[in-house]
Amino acid sequence: MRKPYLKLCVSGMASCALYILLYVYEREIMTAFTRTDGAYPLLPVIAALVFSFVHGAFAAYFWDVLGITARRERG
Amino acid sequence: MDEAPIQFIDLSGGNVVALLVIGFLGGLISGFIGSGGAFVLTPAMMSMGVPGVVAVASNICHKFPKAFVGAYKRYRFGHVDVKLGMVMAASAAVGVWVGVDIQDRIRQLYGEAGSNLYVSLAFVIVLTIVGGFVLHDVLESRRPGPAHAADRVSRLAKWVQSVEIPGTMMHFEAAGVRVSALFTLPLGFATGMLAATIAVGGFIGVPGMMYVLGAPAIVASATELVIAFFMGLGGAIKYALHGLVDIRLTLILLAGSLFGVQLGAIGTTFVKPYVIKLVMAAIMLIVAVSRALVVPVYLRQLGKVEFSREAATFLTYASLAFLVLALCVGGAIIVGAMVRGYGAAPARL
């Protein structure tokens, strides 16, 4: 089976970029994400979803590339 | 807001590495037994100095995307009963809402130490009772003989399945059970309440689906991820409305746990059902000891008991040591079972 090296690299870079943004703008993010007015409470939820899609894809490709896959898929 | 200002901790490099490692191990356990990473994550964050309510809030916000990823993975393996998950989640959502309100009220009445004490006591009581029961079942199921088959249906589940209440009966195909929705309602509610309190509803949800409804361990543990997603989403919104989520903790935990949850899900395709129960029981009981050790520390902070600061520090470190032990034991059993599984049958997909 062909391993998804390219997908691993692209998702890995995207995930890395998101975490760099979090590190660089830590103070601003913490201020905005703990506000309780308006639509601000949605920010943590949206951020968690976005990170999980990008980083989750990276993690899936990572295990695929390492060859760690399920023994069987039940239908 | 009417609450006292929340103290968010300064994140050191050591804290970040620790969060990544415990996130990974917590995710590994969640992917394997359907929930549970959080029973290590919440106390671990509290041990770093994160207030109990922020630890629960940040944990629950990291839990729903992790649960989604884990549920999707295990759905592909055919483990998930989506209908059962949705039905349980509906009543669990109400439980979460009530649980968060109780948590908030306790914090207002008794402050941070009171809130921490409440979370720790909930851990000790629930984990000891349910963990002991699951361990008993594992030991019984390992005894030879047909009556002790690995995934036998409990007497309680047989009775529940035999009760016919017209208009409420539901058939759950993947779980292979037909029960009245009236039995799933309190089970879901209790799961939600516990999730909002200690961020681990699965310690009622998974054993509940196994021993009360009669679902197989592999289906119960996978279906719990569906419930965890909905509960986590509801809980995250509720805590975010109070400004209690520390998004840095949430996202750093996700960085590790998304690797772990997928590995744990893959691991379930390599093991016998009793291994899932064994991991569950072992971790629950060790974490119960860990949280029991810090109960006197919180009582001291509330002025209810008196002992030296050194003794309090010792108890806090001893508690942390038991947490590390729980993580290591859970991780070792899962990885060991996977290695044995790989040896028995080479991977193919």
In a domain, B5, yes or no: no
Q: What is the pLDDT of residues B297-311, one digit of tens each?
A: 999 998 999 999 999
Q: How far apart are CA B13 and CA B136, in angstroms?
A: 41
Q: Does A33 touch chain B (CB under 8 A)?
A: yes
In chain A, the residue whose alpha carbon lies closest to the alpha carbon of B57 is A44
- Confirm if B120 and B291 have CB atoms less than 8 A apart: yes
Q: What is the pLDDT of residues B200-257, one digit of tens each?
A: 788 889 999 999 999 999 999 999 999 989 888 888 898 899 999 999 999 999 999 9
pLDDT band, residue B349 (cuts 50/70/90)? very low
Tokens of B304: 């209810």
From the candidates A11, A40, A45, which should be mutated to test the interface with B, based on the most B CB atoms within 10 A? Answer: A45
Q: Give the Cα-Cα-Cα angle B40, B251, A56 (nearest 5 degrees).
A: 95
- Answer whether residue A73 shows pLDDT above 60: no
In a domain, B349, yes or no: no
* Contact between chains at B270 and A52 (C-beta distance less than 8 A): no
pLDDT > 70 fraction of chain B, expressed in percent and rounded: 93
Q: What is the pLDDT of residues A24-66, one digit of tens each?
A: 999 999 999 999 999 999 999 999 999 999 999 999 999 999 9
In angstroms, how far is CA A66 from the centroid of its own chain?
19
In a domain, B79, yes or no: yes
Residues 6+ apart with CB under 8 A from B220: B34, B175, B205, B206, B207, B209, B210
Whose tokens are 């999707």? That residue is: B72
- Confirm if B294 and B124 have CB atoms less than 8 A apart: no
* Contact between chains at A71 and B345 (C-beta distance less than 8 A): yes
From the candidates A20, A27, A34, which should be mutated to test the interface with B, based on the most B CB atoms within 10 A? Answer: A34
Residues 6+ apart with CB under 8 A from A59: B69, B258, B259, B262
- Answer whether residue A75 shows pLDDT above 50: no
In a domain, B3, yes or no: no
Residue B345, Cβ neighbours under 10 Å: how many?
11
Cα–Cα distances (Å) from B4 to B7, B13, B121, B244, in that order, read 9, 28, 23, 11
Tokens of B110: 């008794």
ipTM: 0.94
In a domain, B1, yes or no: no
- Answer whether residue B260 shows pLDDT above 70: yes
Q: What is the pLDDT of residues B309-335, one digit of tens each?
A: 999 999 988 988 888 888 889 999 999
Q: Which residues pair with B186 in a beta bridge?
A: none
Q: State the first-to-last Cα distance of chain B, in angstroms, to the nearest integer.
A: 52
Q: Domain residues of chain A, as ranges?
A: 5-66
- Answer whether residue A10 shows pLDDT above 70: yes
- Answer whether residue B345 shows pLDDT above 80: no
Q: What's the pLDDT score for residue B142?
A: 76
* Contact between chains at A35 and B243 (C-beta distance less than 8 A): yes
Q: Which residues pair with B178 in a beta bridge?
A: B171
Q: What's the pLDDT score for residue A72?
A: 63
Bridge pairing between strands B169-172 and B177-180:
antiparallel
Tokens of B37: 């990473």
What 8-state DSSP symbol labels residue B150?
T
Total structural domains within chain B:
1
Q: How far apart are CA A61 and CA B331, in angstroms?
A: 22
From the candidates B9, B19, B242, B254, which should be mutated to test the interface with A, based on the most A CB atoms within 10 A? Answer: B254
* Domain range enclosing B309: 14-343
Q: What is the pLDDT of residues B178-187, one digit of tens each?
A: 999 999 999 9
Q: How far apart are CA B286 and CA B183, in angstroms?
A: 30
CA distance A6 to chain B (A): 18
pLDDT > 90 fraction of chain B, expressed in percent and rounded: 54
In a domain, B7, yes or no: no
Q: What is the pLDDT of residues B112-141, one digit of tens each?
A: 888 888 988 998 999 999 999 999 999 888
- Answer whether residue B48 shows pLDDT above 90: no
Q: Does A1 touch chain B (CB under 8 A)?
A: yes
